[in-house]
Structure 1
């Protein structure tokens, strides 16, 4: 007798750690807030107390919460979160889009690191590295030619992330290369958040091209300056004014009288 048809379907339960992480990353719970009590979480997710405790332990291990005896589970300050943990960086990309504080932190990291990494890439990139950078760039350009901004099964944003990841790899520094893999979702967060008009996208592509060309021509300083220019474009698109002002050795400004034109970019290398 076939019991399949008459057997009740098992309801798929949500991953409790993921669900709670989503609430934390999107700002439903701020640092210092307490999560609901275990008994309330059991009722909400229709699971046992041991299942809830296992999920909470994942959040403890990733630095998102701390368990306080007699009080409950409190959200940790942002600096305690293990953002380099692959699971946390995945949550970051999936759930943090509404959270401007996290977006600023991710962008600040990129602003501090990417010009230096671009310099290293210009010094150490191999032919294979250059091919990866150029392929990602061409993918971005091709994707923009299509209404859905896709090309060969990938979106423009995916090619953009691949472009930056390829530059990290081209640095041939073990630490930076590894960090690029871990931070890939975080970089994607900033890229996807950058809503750009056609004019801004064209400007952004020109800035990306300058980075690629400087790396190809083995011009470390030019590569660093071009990377700053890309980040300046991203900063404007995200509305993150005030960031990108303290990058060592490079100061980048825009002529306020000619907004968004490529010729507006003025880079000055500071002595010493």
Structure 2
């Protein structure tokens, strides 16, 4: 750990996560031993063990008897654990691999979620989606993207809820911080916020009009815009055979 940790005695886990995500400790590296962390942080060994235990529980590190604690591959992290999701949201900004994995996951599931929402959304769901979109519309040209980001995340979460599937609804709650991570970075970097807004409008309209095929493709378009903005290359899941390839939404 860096000396900064000595001034943040209650955030040992946070400090270690930050240093892992910044590349100070790579997968396979051993983090400082408990006694060294105690010396730097001024905390008791029991407290340090509790902090490290949180990282073990989240799959971030593993304890190797006689050697210490070793950083695990990101693919082994329990990213749906709320604590891990929170760490990723707060500290993973510079970590392109994490952003790419989150985006790849969303590209796999959200077109299906949008298609389900088109068939299951109630009037109340449509209002929630529309209100979030209207918030995006009001704030899409703001220099400070905070309000726009909040509405953007709410837009996507509302679509998850509109499926009326308990698993998707619960997953949206877990994914919300991860969605916010991508939204905040893409909205800050986009050169054409109006184009992004239009992509979201098309998705909203496809759901409102009960057009499942169009909703599927519109969701892909929204996320591909995000990938382009973040300069990432990700591959959407293959289009299901029963959906026409040319069903992408049009004006």
Partner of 1:174: 166
Residue number in structure 2 paired with 1:208 = 200
Shift of 1:90: 0.5
Following superposition of structure 1 onto structure 2, how do residues 88-107 of structure 1 map, counting pairs within 5 Å? 88-107=84-103
In structure 2, C-alpha distance between the alignment counterparts of 1:219 and 1:117, rounded to whole Å: 13
Please say which structure displays the higher CA radius of gyration: 1
1:246 aligns with 2:237: yes
Structure richer in strand, relative to its length = 1
Q: Which moved more, 1:66-75 or 1:186-195?
A: 186-195
Residue 130 (str. 1) matches residue 126 (str. 2): yes
Q: Report the TM-score when normalising by structure 1.
A: 0.83
1:67–1:74: 8 Å Cα contact kept in structure 2? yes
4+ runs deviating over 4 angstroms: none
Whether the 8 Å CA contact 1:35–1:73 is kept in 2: the answer is yes
2:56 is equivalent to residue 65 of structure 1: no
Contact in 1 for aligned 2:79/2:85 (Cα 8 Å)? yes
**Higher relative helix content:** 2
What is the CA-CA distance between 1:12 and the residue it aligns to? 6.9
Q: How many Å apart are 1:22 and its aligned residue?
A: 2.0
Q: Show CA shifts across 1:155-176 (max 9, x none).
A: 1111111100000000111111
Q: CA RMSD in A?
A: 1.8
1:44-55 residue pairs with structure 2 within 5 A?
Answer: 44-55=40-51
Query: Given that residues 114 and 159 in structure 2 are in contact (C-alpha distance below 8 angstroms), is that contact kept between their aligned partners in structure 1?
Result: yes
- Shift in Å, 1:249: 2.8
In the alignment of these two chains, the number of paired residues is 238
Unaligned runs of 5+ residues in structure 1 are: 1-10, 251-266
- Paired residue for 2:34? 38
Distance 1:146 1:36 in 2: 44
Normalised TM-score (structure 2): 0.89
What CA deviation, in whole Å up to 9, does each residue of 1:103-149 have, x standing for no partner?
Answer: 11000000101100000000000111101100110000101254434
The answer to whether the 8 Å contact 1:25/1:91 transfers is no
